[in-house]
Structure 1
Amino acid sequence: MSRGGQGLARVAVVVRAGAAPLWWVGVFGAGIGVLVPGFTGRRIGVLAGAALFLVVAAVVAYGRRKPYAALAKGAARAGRHDILQDRAVTTRAWRRGHRWWLLLALLAAVGSSFAAPATLGMVCAGAGAGLRLKSAWLGRRERSDEALLWVRVDWLNGRGGGPVGKPVKGYRTTGTSAGDATPGGSRRKATV
């Protein structure tokens, strides 16, 4: 990173990186949980899990939007020497950094099924769905502003990391054709 350039990761990709692992941890945990009768019984566990799925998905999708909007409003244009990180690298880095939390969530989802079948698994799946909805919201914002949002990689790796964590002082922007991810963080389709 010569001449003061910074490594930048897409904000929407960082948000979206946890969606699929949390979803599948939740689905797997809930699937195993349904096989166990549990203390409360399957019906109560699944109904409670379904209600919590909706609540958690809404809280994750709509929570903390103000910090994202404030950082996006004050975003500066990315410099010529800034290095844009690939979507796959950002996703892999997030998943490596959170692999133990994901394993712990899976074990908790399966273990809690002996008390309330499928409930905690559906909570994890709700968190994954909420992250997916939040990345879609970021994508709509990026399309309307015609600017992709980026955050410095070194700020993500610090304590309290995340796209709106304490270390994050501001975002950078580029045009919508920069990088290998579309607005919202999904993989850009290759053009022939």
Structure 2
Amino acid sequence: MGRGAYALARVAVIVRASAGWLWWLGVLAAGIGVLLPGLTGRRIGVLAGAALFLIAAVVVFMARRKRYLTLARGASRAGKSVFLQDRAVTVRTRRRAVRWWLLLAFLAAVGSSFAVPAAGGMLMAGLGVGLWAKALWLGRWERANDVLLWVRPEWVPRGRPAGKAVNGYQTTGIVAGDAGPGGARRARAMESAAR
């Protein structure tokens, strides 16, 4: 990178990077948990898990939305010297940062099934769904405003793209980078059109 250049990572990609792992590990933990009778019994465990799933998904989806919108509305246009980080690099970096937490959460979810079957796994899955829904919400905002939101990766070491350490977002055109609005992989047709 040239003088004064720096990297930018997609906000939506950071948000959704852990969603898939949380979902699948949660489903696996819940599946294992259903096989255990637990102290409360399977029926109560699954009902409690369903409630936790919904609560977790809604809380994660709603958390810090005002902060996201404030940063998005105050975003500045990215300069020509910035380096746009590939989606795969952002996802890999984020997942590497949280892999041990995910493993501990999975083990805790399975362990909790000895008391309340499946509830811990369904809670994990709900967290994943909430993150995925938030990424989709960001994608709708990006499409409506015809921009993509980016943030400097060094400002989000704990994976909080709307945390206190984030001083602001930057924007690019809708076809910049290799991830579409919401952080999903860009369709090949759009990539071809961009070229």
TM-score range, shorter chain: over 0.9
CA distance in 2, matches of 1:149, 1:83: 14
CA distance in 2, matches of 1:161, 1:105: 17
CA distance in 2, matches of 1:86, 1:67: 25
Any idea what SS the aligned residue of 2:105 has?
helix
Tell me what 1:97 maps to: 97
- How far has the Cα of 1:92 moved from its partner? 0.5
Tell me what 2:155 maps to: 155
CA distance in 1, matches of 2:128, 2:52: 13
CA distance in 2, matches of 1:76, 1:129: 30
**Over aligned residues, Cα RMSD in angstroms?**
0.9
Alignment of 1:112-151 (within 5 A): 112-151=112-151
CA distance in 2, matches of 1:50, 1:181: 32
CA distance in 2, matches of 1:83, 1:39: 54
Q: Structure 1 vs Structure 2: percent identity of aligned residues?
A: 64
The one-character-per-residue Cα deviations of 1:33-91 (angstroms, maximum 9, x if unpaired) are 00000000000000000011011111111121011000001101001010000111100
Alignment of 1:50-65 (within 5 A): 50-65=50-65
CA distance in 2, matches of 1:66, 1:5: 30
Tell me what 2:168 maps to: 170
CA distance in 2, matches of 1:161, 1:55: 22
Gaps of 5+ in 2: none
Any idea what SS the aligned residue of 1:185 has?
coil
- How far has the Cα of 1:27 moved from its partner? 0.3
CA distance in 2, matches of 1:127, 1:96: 18
> Displaced runs of 4+ in structure 1, greater than 3 A?
none
One-letter amino acid matched to 1:22? L
The one-character-per-residue Cα deviations of 1:130-182 (angstroms, maximum 9, x if unpaired) are 0010000000000011110000011122xx54201221100000000000011
Tell me what 1:87 maps to: 87
Tell me what 1:188 maps to: 186
CA distance in 2, matches of 1:50, 1:65: 24
CA distance in 1, matches of 2:182, 2:82: 21
Tell me what 2:110 maps to: 110
- The answer to whether 1:31 aligns with 2:27 is no
Please tell me whether the aligned partners of residues 94 and 159 of structure 2 are also in contact (alpha carbons under 8 angstroms). no
Please tell me whether the aligned partners of residues 135 and 185 of structure 1 are also in contact (alpha carbons under 8 angstroms). yes
One-letter amino acid matched to 2:163? G
Tell me what 2:16 maps to: 16
Any idea what SS the aligned residue of 1:3 has?
coil
Gaps of 5+ in 1: none
Please tell me whether the aligned partners of residues 13 and 135 of structure 1 are also in contact (alpha carbons under 8 angstroms). yes
Normalising by structure 2, report the TM-score: 0.95
Any idea what SS the aligned residue of 2:81 has?
coil
CA distance in 2, matches of 1:71, 1:18: 22
Please tell me whether the aligned partners of residues 12 and 185 of structure 1 are also in contact (alpha carbons under 8 angstroms). yes
- How far has the Cα of 1:129 moved from its partner? 0.3
Please tell me whether the aligned partners of residues 161 and 167 of structure 1 are also in contact (alpha carbons under 8 angstroms). no
One-letter amino acid matched to 1:45? G
